[in-house]
Amino acid sequence: MTKEKGKSAAEIARDNVTKLRSYVNKTSVSDIPKNQYQKSSRQRICKELGITYSTVGSNADLASLFDQLDKKTSANKSEVKRPKSNNTLQLKARISTLENRVSSLKVENEALRSQIKRYEHFETTGRMARS
């Protein structure tokens, strides 16, 4: 945001705090833009309000308001739904099946590597390696 003519930096800072405080009070939690960590997106909110993003780090009042906004969004965050016990048993069975498949594929890969080494030995020496 460019300095408006006749306003000091302190006045601009107070105006920014007033804008953000008003935004925090009037905006519902569901309408607050969030970042990838499900906290309020400071950059998008600053852009929306016309506040220079870099001032958030240097203005303690702005930082405090954003912290309040983060608490507001995290308090309203829905709990992670846990699978029902039947689903848990199915997931454990599926994991066990996949672990068994992985171990059998490891054994198969090792056997194939051994065959490749035998063929490489045959190509270089002209003799078949004993198994």
Q: What is the pLDDT of residues 69-126, one digit of tens each?
A: 888 777 766 544 555 667 888 888 899 999 999 999 999 999 999 999 999 999 999 8
Per-domain boundaries in the chain: 9-75, 83-131
Is the model's pTM score more than 0.75? no
In a 3-state reduction of DSSP, which class is residue 34?
strand
To which residue do tokens 């954003």 refer?
Answer: 66
Smallest Cα–Cα separation from 32: which of 85, 69, 79, 2?
Answer: 69
Cβ pair 40, 82 in contact under 8 A: no
Check whether 7 has a pLDDT greater than 60: yes
Cβ-count burial 110-128 (b if 16+ within 10 Å, e if not): eeeeeeeeeeeeeeeeeee
